[in-house]
Amino acid sequence: MTHDSSKYHKEAVMAGNSFIHIYENPKHEISNILDAKWFQEVNENRKRLKAIIRSIIFCGKQNIALRGWKTESELPVSSEVNEGNLREFIRHRIETCGDDSVLKMHFELATVRTKYMSPSIQNVVVRKF
């Protein structure tokens, strides 16, 4: 039996070819694919938070209180009930600003726990700025 026909040699050649393929085409490596997906999610979450934080900062600069009497609920579709300045301002941005699709998508897709509208989140943002 020659070295070229041994099982060890064939496995080493396959591993070497696989390494060269991944080295020359890093897009195909699973860790890079997962990292790209994670990086995309991080960037989307940052865009969402920036829009909410900008709204909180706007209210602060204008010396406008953030909360109303009902702060823990979903952001309602109708504006019949005033739920506080921040929620009303964000609703106004969603309804009137065609370029604010980030906020609209966020409130359509996020769960109650991931909307970042609770009083505790507002307090954290206010303390940071």
- Tell me: pLDDT of 75 over 60: no
80 or 91, higher pLDDT: 91
Domain boundaries, the chain: 3-128
Whole-model pTM: value is 0.55
Tens of pLDDT, residues 4-30:
788 888 888 888 888 787 777 766 677
* pLDDT band at residue 47 using 50, 70 and 90 as cut-offs: confident
Q: Report yes or no: 116 and 87 within 8 Å, Cβ to Cβ.
A: no
Rg over alpha carbons for the chain, rounded to the nearest Å, is 25
